[in-house]
A = this chain, B = another copy of it.
Amino acid sequence: MALIVQKYGGTSVGSPERIKAVADRVIRWVNRGNDVVVVVSAMSGETNRMVSLINDIDPEGSAREKDMILSTGEQVTIGLLSMALQSKGQDARSYTGGQVKILTDAVHTKARIRRIDDTPIRNDLNKGRVVVVAGFQGMDEYGDITTLGRGGSDTTAVALAVALKADECQIYTDVDGVYTTDPRMVADARHIPVLGLEEMLEMASQGSKVLQIRAVEFAYKYDMPIRVLSSFDDDEKPKSTLVTHEDGVMEDVLVRGIAFNRDEAQLTIAGVPDQPGIAYQILGPVADANIEVDMILQNVGRDGLTDFTFTVHRNDLEAASKLLEGVASKLEASQCKWDDKIAKVAIVGAGMRSHAGVASKMFKVLADEGINIRLVSTSEIKVAVVVDEKYVELAVRVLHDAFGLSETMA
């Protein structure tokens, strides 16, 4: 008998009919002899509806009150799913994040989980119940409701799986797993049945939307296997991707997949003094404004001056560019510019650790197509480049072919 934590996203529970379908699926897992804990998101559209109410009152309003409001979406879903399970004869019980004691810090709208009390869940499981938990939310030490921010429900599921020492954390979404790249962009992208957690971490951080990076980080830290499945797939033996510790996963695969995103913008400040501390002078104000910086590049100095380039999320470009103009005038920079017509393309694979030449092959493939590389960032298991946005489809396709990822080459 296995203990499984399942998570169903907003589309999977988007209507009463979909919720009943989820109940059927959960019951099939129970009937196969498993203990099941289910984490759900708000019904699709609900969170947007509440955000719009909030914006009508005060978009800059108190984060505590926003959490009070936003946490209700998941609370509705857990009640409905528990009722659907019960009406099909499966005993079930719903819990809000606070009730099941998902204790978080007090950073409203982006709280981090500190501790989970698994006692109430275990008691229910021992009584043969399915436990249905609201994703995305918790409670701080003052008894206030908190939300976990982006990707919160995936994170709740992984954290519960870790706390319960579950055998597997299943993330149900609208795709049946991870592919070598986005199948909407490359028609012969190949399904990946097993993937290393570290690789998934790089895939997620480089733009793959299948799993939220925070949840993968959590799973990676606690070595919790994640299985990605489609909630629209009715097969008895559904297609899935198991994301797990990399031992025995690796084999000879050099490059596992191609990730990409169009979420970033690039900023450059040119002709600043090439002296110690210059990076801090430039990035300090950006970090102070809670703007996350992804890639950073400092050119080799010339004539005592250097150029400095970094990327931020496009949503943060306006704020970051204003800060940079302030820094530029203070440092008497020769130029200060930005561009959001960029895309990031990354090849990811634990196999490249032991293989030289992966990066150079990538650069050659792109050069052969006349695609200029603006920035490069590498780790042991990925190489990411920034290119003009208009080249992103071309870059992904040629790299997918060049590294032998296409279906026909399987």
Sampled A-B contacts (16; CB under 8 Å):
A16-B53, A19-B57, A53-B80, A57-B83, A57-B87, A58-B83, A58-B84, A58-B87, A61-B83, A61-B86, A62-B82, A65-B80, A65-B83, A68-B94, A69-B80, A71-B75
Give Cα distance in the complex from A382 to B60, angstroms: 54
Cα A62 to Cα B84 with chains together (Å): 10
* Residues of A contacting B: mostly: helix
Note all chain B residues with C-beta closer than 8 A to A20: 57
B53 & A76 in contact (Cβ 8 Å cutoff): yes
Name the B residues within 8 Å of A93 (CB-CB).
64
Q: How many copies does the complex hold?
A: 2
Are B72 and A58 in contact (CB-based, < 8 A)?
A: no
A80, closest chain B residue (CB): B57
Chain B residues whose C-beta falls within 8 Å of the C-beta of A86 in the assembled complex:
58, 61-62, 65
A370 within 8 A of B: no
Which A residues have a C-beta under 8 Å from some C-beta of B? 16, 19-20, 50, 53-54, 56-58, 60-62, 64-66, 68-69, 71-72, 75-76, 78-80, 82-84, 86-87, 93-94, 96, 99, 143-145
Min distance, Cβ A102 to any Cβ of chain B, angstroms = 14
Tell me which of A54, A75, A76 has the highest count of chain B C-beta atoms within 10 A of its own C-beta.
Answer: A76
Q: How far is the CA of A381 from the CA of B277 in the complex (A)?
A: 86
Min CB distance, A317 to chain B, in Å? Answer: 27
> Which of A68, A99, A143 has its CB near the most chain B CB atoms (within 10 A)?
A68
- On chain B, the residues within 8 Å of A53 by CB distance are 16, 76, 80
